[in-house]
Amino acid sequence: MSDERLRRDLGLDDLAKDIFADPSERDPMRAVAKDARPTLPKRFYREVSVAASESEGGFAILLDGKGVRTPARRPLTATTLVLAEALAAEWSRQGERINPASMPLTRLFNSAIDGVADRLGEVEADVLRYAGSDLICYRAGEPEALALAQAAKWNPLVDFARNALGARLMLAEGVMFAPQPPEALAAIARAVRVYVGDSGAESYLKLTSLHMMTTLTGSCIIALAVALGRIDVNEAWACANVDQDFQMASWGEDAEALARREGQLQDMRAAALVSRAFVS
């Protein structure tokens, strides 16, 4: 199965692909351009609560006392009270209509429970494919200001890969593919395997958050740095957007790109919250 099809099937590239709305409507600028308005379901509940789930383990999210289910009709449960309360807060914040664009954590859990849980090997392999052409390894030769900005943000991550993961990455100038040493890729694979583990729900939630952060940033190393607590989500996002920030500083801001980026940042924050929930 191709990488593109895998991400499409699991809903991991476009997190708005769920039962609530057409994913094209997530971007308000695109909706205006199409002269279309999303039809969102009305809020059908009054109270949101959290309760221990005896049948599923962990904590269930309740709407007027009834458990929330994923698009595949599986119980929406969280392994920790902190995550359950964060999920409940998303449902509580909904207004007259339920807007999935404002529920990144719920969408992450839907993807984890309905998709990733049954395909752990494929999703883990997709994360590792990013390591073979990681964002932080491809540097600009010019302009000098961009090269310096990349080095300032990415060199510490290269050091993290070497010192914490045992992966000595090769850097390249330009966009031509430069293969990484097999030893480096093996070291990253071991780090991912150790982090994800094999403990049921915790495992597939960790993997979903890691995959999400990897695809959002284009970097397995950035995702691992967040998951292992080496950098926070704000620094990770700044590292992932060095090139875009430089372009905007040089040529001006793009309103549509900024709106899209803000939505992606909310997804990144949700993934980071999940990944950090399991770090002692």
Q: What pLDDT was estimated at residue 176?
A: 87
Is 205 among the domain residues?
yes
pLDDT, averaged in runs of 10, over the chain (280 residues): 48 39 38 56 96 87 96 95 97 96 96 95 97 96 95 98 98 91 98 91 96 98 97 97 93 86 96 88
Provide the residue range defining the domain that includes 244.
118-276
Distance, in Å, from the CA atom of 12 to the CA atom of 234, rounded to the nearest integer, reads 21
Rounded to 10°, the helix 104-114/81-92 angle is 120
Q: What pLDDT was estimated at residue 38?
A: 65
- List phi, psi (to 5°) of 49: -145, 170
Q: Which of 159, 212, 215, 167 is nearest to 191 (CA)?
A: 167
- List phi, psi (to 5°) of 178: -125, 115
Distance, in Å, from the CA atom of 81 to the CA atom of 57, rounded to the nearest integer, reads 11
Is 99 among the domain residues?
no
Distance, in Å, from the CA atom of 198 to the CA atom of 219, rounded to the nearest integer, reads 23
Question: The tokens of 258 are what?
Answer: 């900024």
Q: What pLDDT was estimated at residue 16?
A: 34
Q: What is the CATH number of the domain that holds 149?
A: 1.10.3580.10
Distance, in Å, from the CA atom of 119 to the CA atom of 126, rounded to the nearest integer, reads 11
The whole model's pTM is what? Answer: 0.85
4: exposed, middle or buried (Cβ count in 10 Å: 0-12, 13-18, 19+):
exposed
Is 203 among the domain residues?
yes
Number of domains making up the chain = 1
Is 210 among the domain residues?
yes
Q: Alpha carbon of 275 to those of 224, 225, 236: distances in Å?
A: 9, 11, 13
Q: What pLDDT was estimated at residue 279?
A: 74
Is 149 among the domain residues?
yes
Note the maximum CA span of the chain: 59
